[in-house]
Chains A and B, each alone.
Chain A
Amino acid sequence: MRITGHHPLWHPLWHPVLRIAAAVLGGYAFTWGFIAFGMASLFALGMPFHDAEHLTAIIGVAVYLALLLWAFAARSLVRVWIVAAGGAGLMAGAASLIQNHLT
């Protein structure tokens, strides 16, 4: 394990916890964002709501799995958190913007 600096969060005991949290919670948030953004934009492009819901759910499961695995395989945990949290926020925000535009 490579320990960067002496911040308490980098204590070896915390590392697996943060890694698992990134995989499970970060992955969940990212997938939520992906599904919301996918549903809103596909609906905006004319796909029926429930079709969009099913399609994004099917792809969403694969997205979650990919992120979960990557969170463990990736070298930099910081990058994992940035992608997961950042992606989640951006996509969920975009979904709400599209919704406000349509309703």
Chain B
Amino acid sequence: MFQSVRLSMAWLHTWFGLVLGFVLMVVFFFGALSVFDREIDRWAVPQSRFEPQPMPSFDMVLRPVFESMQPTREAIADMAPRVNGPMPQTYTAIDRMGAYTTHRDPVLELFIGFDVPGAKDPEEALWAYRTIDPRTGASLPDDRLKIGSEFFYPLHYSLNLHWRDAGTWIVGAAAMAMLAALVSGVVMHRKIFREFFTFRPDKTIQRSVLDLHNLTGVVALPFHFFFAFTGLVIFAGIYFPVGHTQLDPLHQLSERLEAAETGLPHERAGVPAPIASVDAMVAEAQRRWHARGMAGEVGFLTLQHVGDANGYVSVYRAGTDRIALTGEGIHFKASTGELLREDPAPGAVGSVNEFLTGLHLQHFRHWLLRWLYVLGGLTGCVCIATGFIFFVEKRKRQHAKQGIQGARLVDALAVTTVTGMVVATLCLLIANKLLPDALPGGWPPRGDLERYAFWGGWLLAFVHALLRSAPVAAGRLSPAWAEQCRAIALLAPLAVLLNWIMTGDHLLRTLAAHYWPVAGLDLCLLASAALALLAARRLKRRASAAPALDTVKTGVTHA
């Protein structure tokens, strides 16, 4: 099929890169935003704009909240088909409950899993969730969409397409294509070192776009490679569910061995028992971490088999001082507070795995590294976007002569995934601020409307890009690029303005109070607006001077 290895790699790079590049664009852009997901949550949910809090007292604050939690009517209806017999209206038997926080979270997330009598899979629980203000225990409205952690972050790894994990599979294929594109790109690139620092903005578009593509690909190669790689490793259990299918019997065997070794009961005893002071167990766990020389904030607290004699409490550390995702879990008997087990230090394989997953999931406390990750993610966006533009530039005159619509379609899709994606994001932020706190009866939940604004905005951007793409078929530049840049320059300051009007937190106030989550997002929005305006101007100048488009554009619209 190919004359040489180099040609085969070029084919692979071009076509896998093109087809899955559109997905990769989404993954990189929303991955970069997810680095600051909690901060975006603060912007989106004004009730949560206060300083990050430590895990509150279980006995005083959390326990009464847990006792008031019940599953939603939707969750009950959702589980009904997987249960023999009718669903009860209230639930009391708690299989598992817990609270999770990080060093960046002012609010605390609680979850609770109820046993359902007659469940076809006895392991399946019925889940309920609650977000509280840990200072008072008061609940936050649960129809508010946490845009960062509940929308952008899952979009990054699952495209928010949850049917049979389809989105996660597509993202996995894209990550694999990224790895293949990186290796094949290195094979194709003849002057990796000689052109390491090369970017020539004044040459032809095709040349300068290729410079930018090579530059962003090569300079951030370790970042691109390791993030695609570790992303695949994190979800390896979904992509290769060997342990739950072919080797399930082996898995069961190892679980039995493990339960015997750890001494943590796998089943309820069926004997009711009270819960001793969990605060005392937490204090004991912190004392033990301190003795090992580790920072001792609690990140994750769970209770298993609640109210049963076999119940136990697990306390995990928020490992902010390491890359590795370590919890150093300590487990206590719930009824007495007696120490059951201290998790041993991970072995060699465990350490490597914790490092690789921790590198990607970033639970550490290091603001410089977070910003460098954002830079890496945006570099990836520029790399993919310039790849699209190079593809179009290389072919559009040829296609124009032959009357083929290929370059035109790719260009419209590129507009949609580059500037259109930013437009969609801004639509979501604006909807978040425009929608009233209390919606009229019969409307969909507030969070759903915010999602519709995102997808609707994106669809509009796509239709616009398609409608305005005719000049590409004639070998010229699509006006959609500049028009969507102008839309960004308009929408981004609008989001900042609406945040001021609806919450009263304008930049002078947030900056004066050093409240960076909100001030930072506002500043980024204004910066993107300025860059988009600059890009629109340059595009206009290029379009009127010659049938050429400016390369800076792609770099700019993503900042």
Contact = CB atoms under 8 A, between A and B. Distances in A.
A69 B184 contact: yes
Given A15-B1, A65-B183, A102-B253, A39 B353 contact: no
A70 B240 CA distance: 21
A47 interface: yes
Given A51-B347, A60-B240, A73-B8, A65 B179 contact: yes
B250 interface: yes
Contact of A72 (B9, B249, B251): B9
B1 A16 contact: yes
Contact of A57 (B2, B5, B240): B240
Contact of A95 (B179, B246, B353): B246
A55 B229 CA distance: 13
Interface in B346-375: 347, 349-350, 352-353, 356
A58 B253 contact: no
Q: Decide if the interface of chain A is mainly helix, strand, loop or mixed.
A: helix
B254 A48 contact: yes
A64 B240 CA distance: 11
A16 B350 CA distance: 40
Of B9, B349, B353, most A-chain CB atoms within 10 Å: B349
B232 interface: yes
A39 B243 contact: yes
Contacts of A96: 246
Nearest to B234: A57
B242 A39 contact: yes
Given A51-B349, A51-B350, A61 B249 contact: no
A96 B233 CA distance: 23
A39 B254 CA distance: 12
B180 A32 contact: no
A84 interface: no
B176 interface: yes
A49 B250 contact: yes
Contacts of B349: 47, 51-52, 54-55
Contacts of B180: 65, 68-69
Contact of A99 (B11, B237, B249): B249
Contacts of A77: 1
B247 interface: yes
Of A52, A61, A65, most B-chain CB atoms within 10 Å: A61
A61 B236 contact: yes
Of A31, A54, A102, most B-chain CB atoms within 10 Å: A54
A31 B240 CA distance: 9
Contacts of A60: 236, 240
A68 B352 CA distance: 25
B250 A39 contact: yes
Interface in A2-59: 15-16, 19, 31-32, 35-36, 39-40, 43, 47-55, 57-58
Contacts of A48: 254, 258, 347
B12 interface: yes
Contact of A53 (B11, B232, B243): B243
B350 A99 contact: no
Chain A contact patch, size range: 35 or more
Contacts of B347: 48, 51
A92 B1 contact: no
Nearest to B249: A103
Of B1, B250, B347, B353, most A-chain CB atoms within 10 Å: B250
A81 to B, nearest CB: 14
Given A65-B176, A68-B180, A72-B8, A57 B236 contact: yes
Nearest to B348: A51
A79 to B, nearest CB: 14
Contacts of B12: 69, 72
B183 A103 contact: no
Contacts of A50: 254
B183 A69 contact: yes
Contacts of B253: 102-103
B168 to A, nearest CB: 15
Nearest to B240: A35
Nearest to A54: B353
B249 A58 contact: no
B251 A64 contact: no
Given A54-B350, A54-B353, 13 more contacts: A36-B246, A53-B237, A54-B233, A57-B233, A57-B237, A65-B176, A68-B176, A69-B9, A69-B12, A73-B8, A99-B249, A102-B250, A103-B249
21 contacts: A32-B242, A36-B247, A39-B242, A39-B250, A48-B258, A49-B251, A49-B254, A49-B255, A51-B349, A52-B349, A53-B243, A54-B353, A55-B349, A58-B352, A64-B176, A65-B176, A65-B183, A68-B180, A77-B1, A95-B246, A95-B247
Interface of B: 1-2, 5, 8-9, 11-12, 176, 179-180, 183-184, 229, 232-233, 236-237, 240, 242-243, 246-247, 249-255, 258, 347, 349-350, 352-353, 356
Interface of A: 1, 15-16, 19, 31-32, 35-36, 39-40, 43, 47-55, 57-58, 60-61, 64-65, 68-69, 72-73, 77, 92, 95-96, 99, 102-103
